[in-house]
Amino acid sequence: MNPLLLSTGIIGFMAVALGAFGAHGLEDRLTSAAKGWWATATLYALVHAAAALALAVRPEPSPTLSWAGAAFLLGVLIFSGSLYAMALGAPRWFGMITPIGGLSFLTGWGLIILYGIKSA
């Protein structure tokens, strides 16, 4: 079993399902700001699930790239999760944790840069 691949599949599946739910099931219930948060959460989740998938299926394993994929998935949970929560009515101060997810995304991309430098 490949834990990164499994997690990536779950995150990608959930992002598509939550995107559809936001567009169809919550369409009349969300404010315009909440719709924006929902759309941003879904976009970032899908982009980073795809990036983590690319890292998970590499033929030669790399601890650095595995950590990058894990950072992407953690970022989805924190960044997208906090935006989804706020869209559904969590207090606005809840958004203070959103940047932690953003830092996790940046950590993942930074690890990819580091890997690229080391493998050159």
CB-based contact 45:14 (threshold 8 Å): yes
Task: Record the pTM.
Answer: 0.93
Residue 10 has pLDDT above 90, yes or no: yes
Per-residue pLDDT averaged across 100-117, rounded?
Answer: 97
Per-residue pLDDT averaged across 73-98, rounded?
Answer: 95
Report the alpha-carbon distance of residue 20 to residue 113 in Å, rounded: 33
Residues 22-43: pLDDT tens digits? Answer: 999 998 899 999 999 999 999 9
Residue 120 has pLDDT above 80, yes or no: no
Report the alpha-carbon distance of residue 92 to residue 77 in Å, rounded: 18
Number of neighbours of residue 28 by Cβ within 10 angstroms: 5
Q: Give the pLDDT of residue 60.
A: 86
Q: Which two tokens stand for residue 107?
A: 């950590």
CB-based contact 105:75 (threshold 8 Å): yes
Q: Give the pLDDT of residue 61.
A: 84
Q: Give the pLDDT of residue 59.
A: 87
CB-based contact 82:94 (threshold 8 Å): yes
Dihedral angle over CA of 14, 47, 75, 86, nearest 10: -60
Residues 40-84: pLDDT tens digits? Answer: 999 999 999 999 999 999 888 899 999 999 999 999 999 999 999
Report the alpha-carbon distance of residue 35 to residue 87 in Å, rounded: 7
Domain boundaries, the chain: 3-118
3-state class of 58 per DSSP? Answer: coil
